[in-house]
């Protein structure tokens, strides 16, 4: 790997204990050689899947103050911005302002956005975030990682076939981002009902000025457990692997999904070990085994193969 000074501004949640938001993204990115500057959009004791949580929430004004400090020292040159779960429209709009300003300073900056709106047909953020993502955030994003529900919401089009999914990804490209990965869908897997389907699409500008699109499909083994922080890890790993394989979505997805597989596998076997036979693991037992997965993050054995779609 060539020596790189690649700097990421990651604006996400922070938890004292466990792995979600910046805690899920920073370590893996650092292991892969990225400098990570973190702004913690919240500071909680732990994620909200536990019985109790306490903490503070950063306001849009407080976000602006932190960014101003970075700017006053003239150290606001970033190669990437990474964002995830947000509950507040004014905070999200401030993020957009920051991204636009950073892109003016560095036109090559890549904004990786997980547009967290909900899943399985229901929203788990306030509804007024939907238009902000659709009209302001997605247009300035370069890489987005929605699930099927979020992709449908952002485009207003339902996905019931692979063809629908490709059309939705094309619509998302038209809105701005050159790379779209639908992280999970309800499409039937060719490998049976114990797998779910993920799809990706990447538009590349060719030397002659035309755009070519690579589309891939992956079959992902389902896991019978609820993990928190996996989406944040996914977006961070897609950032890292698209950086190393900029025009090869197939390899970037294989690396990213393989990392996810190794981390989740290690987490689930540890959780079951802790919980004991026949007992359901608790949220603390299901915290991602991030540090223990360092070698897999750095150099994942490829256990997932992407199929290139020919349409």
Give SS3 for 255: helix
Any idea which residue has 């659709």 for tokens?
134
How far is 18 from 103, CA to CA, in rounded Å? Answer: 32
Per residue in 241-280, is it b (16+ CB within 10 Å) or e — as a string? bbbeeeebbbbbbbbbbbbbbbbbbbbbebbbeeeeeeee
* Catalytic residue from among 232, 248, 296, 299: 232
Mapped onto helix, strand or coil, the DSSP state of residue 122 is: strand
Helix or strand (DSSP H, E) at 10: strand 7-15
| d(C-alpha 233, C-alpha 256), whole Å | 9
Angle at 20 between CA 245 and CA 235, to 5 degrees: 20
Q: Are 283 and 47 in contact (CB under 8 A)?
A: yes
Q: Helix 230-244 and helix 22-31: axis angle, to 10°?
A: 30
Question: Would you say 95 and 63 are in contact if contact means Cβ atoms under 8 Å apart?
Answer: yes
**Placement of tokens 């040159």 in the chain:** 77
CA 117, 195, 258 angle in degrees (round to 5)?
80
| SS3 label, residue 91 | helix
Give the separation between CA 226 and CA 30, rounded to whole angstroms: 26
Cβ atoms 166, 311 nearer than 8 A? yes
119 is catalytic: no
Which positions are catalytic?
232
């Amino acid at each position: 790997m060539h020596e790189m000074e690649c700097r990421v501004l990651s604006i996400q949640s922070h938890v004292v204990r466990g792995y979600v938001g910046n805690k899920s993204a920073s370590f893996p990115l650092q292991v892969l050689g990225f400098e990570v500057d973190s702004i913690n959009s919240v500071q909680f004791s732990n994620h909200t899947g536990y019985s109790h949580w306490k903490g503070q929430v950063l306001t849009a004004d407080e976000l602006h103050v932190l960014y101003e400090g970075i700017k006053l020292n003239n150290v606001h040159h970033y190669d990437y911005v990474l964002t995830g779960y947000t509950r507040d429209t004014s905070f999200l709009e401030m993020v957009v302002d920051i991204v636009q300003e950073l892109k003016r300073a560095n036109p090559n900056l890549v904004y990786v956005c997980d547009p967290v709106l909900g899943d399985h047909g229901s929203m788990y953020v306030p509804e007024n975030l939907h238009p902000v993502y659709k009209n302001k955030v997605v247009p300035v994003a370069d890489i987005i990682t929605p699930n099927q529900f979020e992709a449908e919401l952002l485009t207003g089009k339902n996905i019931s076939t692979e063809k629908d999914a490709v059309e939705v990804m094309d619509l998302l490209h038209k809105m701005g981002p050159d790379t779209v990965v639908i992280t999970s869908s309800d499409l039937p897997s060719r490998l049976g009902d114990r797998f779910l389907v993920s799809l990706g699409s990447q538009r590349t500008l060719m030397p002659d000025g035309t755009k070519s699109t690579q589309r891939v499909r992956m079959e992902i083994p389902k896991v019978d457990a609820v993990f928190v922080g996996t989406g944040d890890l996914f977006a961070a790993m897609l950032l890292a692997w698209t950086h190393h394989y900029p025009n090869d979505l197939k390899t970037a997805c294989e690396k990213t999904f393989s990392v996810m597989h190794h981390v989740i596998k290690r987490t689930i076997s540890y959780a079951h070990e802790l919980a004991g036979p026949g007992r359901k693991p608790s949220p603390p037992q299901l915290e991602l085994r991030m540090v223990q997965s360092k070698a897999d993050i750095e150099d994942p054995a490829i256990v997932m193969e992407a199929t290139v779609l020919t349409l």
